[in-house]
């Protein structure tokens, strides 16, 4: 896949991995729509937009809201008329849901996690399908996590996040086949344990290194990529 002046849509772009995706894509000359809940509050995106006129468009998105998703896709249609790469990065992890005891599970945490981490990416992909079908060597990436690996479970940890990421992996795999029929490649990606607001300062991996690896994986997806679960180094992960 050529990496010059391709058209990317990144969700959850105001901080963490999403913001680093935007930085690196702009640095190599791509065009980017950076979508986030409150664009006006992201000074980093505002600064990048000023530094890269015409290459970065910062647009609002509540990934859990159907109207918001539709409005975003309408804006992308008006800008480019097609989309080459969709990176579903937006995600949520309730801080007090990291290490609950059985008997303390919160149904609201699960609802929020499913709406944001599973249904949002699934339905945004569906909404973006007409644009992806017109894209050049189009592909869809879902930022998942090994916390969603059923085979890797060894304790009760981040239950709402983990269950929603496992569901995301299934959703990505299911829709990979109709996407593939239109020539659209797809993949679920574990970014590693990264130093972000979600990952915390004790994580061993820098966002720059994670995103550089993730982009390499996305760039080099084979034509038959159908929602495989890989890490930022391209290594298969257990379901």
Q: Looking at residue 218, what is its pLDDT? A: 98
Give 4's pLDDT tier (boundaries 50, 70, 90).
low
| C-alpha to C-alpha distance for 184 and 85, rounded to whole angstroms | 9
Q: Looking at residue 1, what is its pLDDT? A: 45
DSSP line for 124-141: HHHHHHHHHHTSSS-EEE
What's 115's DSSP letter? Answer: I
List, for residues 171-214, the tens digit of each pLDDT value.
999 999 999 999 999 999 999 999 888 888 888 889 999 999 99
Domains of the chain, first to last: 7-231 (3.40.50.720)
List, for residues 90-121, the tens digit of each pLDDT value.
999 998 889 999 999 999 999 999 999 999 99
Q: Looking at residue 2, what is its pLDDT? A: 47
Would you say residue 3 has pLDDT above 80? no
> pLDDT above 90 covers what percent of the chain?
91
């Amino acid at each position: 896949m050529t990496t010059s002046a391709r058209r990317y849509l990144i969700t959850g772009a105001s901080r963490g991995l999403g913001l680093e995706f935007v930085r690196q894509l702009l640095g190599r000359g791509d065009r980017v729509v950076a979508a986030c809940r409150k664009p006006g509050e992201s000074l980093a995106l505002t600064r990048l937009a000023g530094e890269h006129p015409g290459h970065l468009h910062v647009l609002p998105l509540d990934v859990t809201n159907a109207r918001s998703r539709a409005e975003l896709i309408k804006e992308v249609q008006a800008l480019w008329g097609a989309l080459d790469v969709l990176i579903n990065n937006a995600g949520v992890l309730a801080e007090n849901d990291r290490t609950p005891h059985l008997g303390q599970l919160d149904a609201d945490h699960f609802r929020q996690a499913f709406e944001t981490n599973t249904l949002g990416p699934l339905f945004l992909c569906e909404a973006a399908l007409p644009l992806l079908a017109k894209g050049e060597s189009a592909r869809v990436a879902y930022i998942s996590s090994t916390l969603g690996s059923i085979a890797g479970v060894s304790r009760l940890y981040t239950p709402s996040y983990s269950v929603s990421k496992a569901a995301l992996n299934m959703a990505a795999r299911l829709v990979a086949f109709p996407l593939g029929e239109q020539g659209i490649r797809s993949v679920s990606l574990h970014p590693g344990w990264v130093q972000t607001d979600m990952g915390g300062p004790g994580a061993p991996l820098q966002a720059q290194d994670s995103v550089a690896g993730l982009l390499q994986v996305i760039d080099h997806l084979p034509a038959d990529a159908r929602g495989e679960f890989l890490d930022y180094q391209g290594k298969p992960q257990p379901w």
